[in-house]
């Protein structure tokens, strides 16, 4: 049986973005469909719609934390605080492992919004050299947190 990390990496290498790849293997445990997980996380890839802000893998992890531990209509403020603590733990662990949570910094300034930047991403195999490790870190951390 494959681990959540293996499933996430496979999904990522199959063409889904980093946020989708992270949320996908948690879908059953979170009580959501795999299709919903992919759709809900879609806009967070490449640092939120390719804006290269917060790493999409991190955003996918935060979505998983929120779905499991976030505040719904029947909960009080303590649920929000618990979700924030877990989110902060994820961010701290990611920053320790990778130095930053910002996609453009992780990619060394490569601009994914330009054809030249996209070519640089491909030519330098940043998907495997950088992004795959980010996906792994988040999945492993989220497994501990949720």
Q: What is the pLDDT of residue 86?
A: 98
Residues 28-65 pLDDT 10s: 999 999 999 999 999 999 999 999 999 999 999 999 99
48 DSSP assignment: T
Q: What is the DSSP string of 94-128?
A: HHHHHS-SBHHHHTTT--TTSHHHHHHHHHTTHII
Give the mean pLDDT of 96-123. Answer: 96
**Total structural domains within the chain:** 1
Q: Which domain holds residue 140?
A: 4-145
Give the mean pLDDT of 108-130. Answer: 96
Q: What is the pLDDT of residue 90?
A: 98
125's tokens? 């195999």
pLDDT band at 122 (very low <50, low <70, confident <90, very high): very high
Q: How far apart are CA 33 and CA 106, in angstroms?
A: 30
Q: What is the pLDDT of residue 52?
A: 97
pLDDT band at 85 (very low <50, low <70, confident <90, very high): very high
Q: What is the pLDDT of residue 84?
A: 97
Q: How far apart are CA 64 and CA 45, in angstroms?
A: 15
Q: What is the pLDDT of residue 143?
A: 97
Q: What is the pLDDT of residue 54?
A: 98
Write down the mean pLDDT value for the chain.
97
Q: How far apart are CA 135 and CA 27, in angstroms?
A: 16
Q: How far apart are CA 68 and CA 14, in angstroms?
A: 26
Q: What is the pLDDT of residue 142?
A: 98
Q: How far apart are CA 57 and CA 1, in angstroms?
A: 23
């Amino acid at each position: 049986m494959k681990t959540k990390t293996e499933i996430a990496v496979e999904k990522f290498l199959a063409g889904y973005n980093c946020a989708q790849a992270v949320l996908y293997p948690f879908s059953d445990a979170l009580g959501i469909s795999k299709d919903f997980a992919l759709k809900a996380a879609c806009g967070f890839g490449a640092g939120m719609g390719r804006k290269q802000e917060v790493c999409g893998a991190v955003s996918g992890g935060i979505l998983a934390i929120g779905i499991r531990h976030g505040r719904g209509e029947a909960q009080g403020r303590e649920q929000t605080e618990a979700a924030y603590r877990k989110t902060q733990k994820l961010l701290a662990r990611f920053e320790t492992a990778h130095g930053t949570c910002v996609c453009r910094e992780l990619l060394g300034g490569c601009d994914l919004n330009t054809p030249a930047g996209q070519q640089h991403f491909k030519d330098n195999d940043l998907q495997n050299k950088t992004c795959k490790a980010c996906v792994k870190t988040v999945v492993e951390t989220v497994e501990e947190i949720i």
